[in-house]
Amino acid sequence: DLIASGGLADTAIGVGVDEELISAVPSHNRTFVSRNFTENEVSYCQTQPSPASSFAARWAGKEAVFKALGVKSKGAAASMKDIEIVNDAETGAPTVVLHGDAKAKADEKGISKVLISLSHSETVAIAFAQASKAA
């Protein structure tokens, strides 16, 4: 059957896109950063060529994931930390890890996978996320 033939089919149930001016994400503000980014995220962004761009891209990514999950984000509140975007050790690709309320909401909706991609130019960061459930 389908499962035996190579894996479980899944179905996209939400998508999210977000764009942010890099200058509008106050990544120089340590309180803002520690409230909204995990230690892993902070370590990663601080070692990138342009930390401000990396923080802005991750911020856009978190907003895109909230949209894909179909839940409202709480802006600058602590829950942005519930969406963690880490980099795959092998490919370097950004990967979503959910925690806390975001994970609970995803579980409730049967969401089994969240794909993400990030990009930025010199001034603008954009992100796309897609949430799927097993069919």
Closest of 65, 58, 135 to residue 105, by C-alpha? 65
Answer yes or no whether residue 19 interacts with a copy of itself by CB under 8 A.
yes
Q: Which is nearer to a copy of itself, 31 or 89 (CB)?
A: 89
Answer yes or no whether residue 10 interacts with a copy of itself by CB under 8 A.
yes
Backbone torsions φ then ψ of 41, nearest 5 degrees: -65, -40
Q: How many residues bind a copy of itself (CB under 8 A)?
A: 51
Instruction: Tell me how far, at minimum, the Cβ of 42 lies from a copy of itself, in Å.
Output: 23
Answer yes or no whether residue 21 interacts with a copy of itself by CB under 8 A.
yes
Closest of 30, 70, 61 to residue 46, by C-alpha? 30
Q: Which is nearer to a copy of itself, 41 or 67 (CB)?
A: 67
Backbone torsions φ then ψ of 78, nearest 5 degrees: -60, -25
Answer yes or no whether residue 5 interacts with a copy of itself by CB under 8 A.
yes
Closest of 53, 42, 43 to residue 119, by C-alpha? 53
The CA distance from 25 to 76, in Å, is: 10
Answer yes or no whether residue 4 interacts with a copy of itself by CB under 8 A.
no
Residue of 50, 53, 71, 96 interacting with a copy of itself (CB under 8 A) = 71
Instruction: Tell me how far, at minimum, the Cβ of 53 lies from a copy of itself, in Å.
Output: 12
Q: Kindly calculate the radius of gyration of the chain based on its CA atoms and give it in whole angstroms.
A: 15
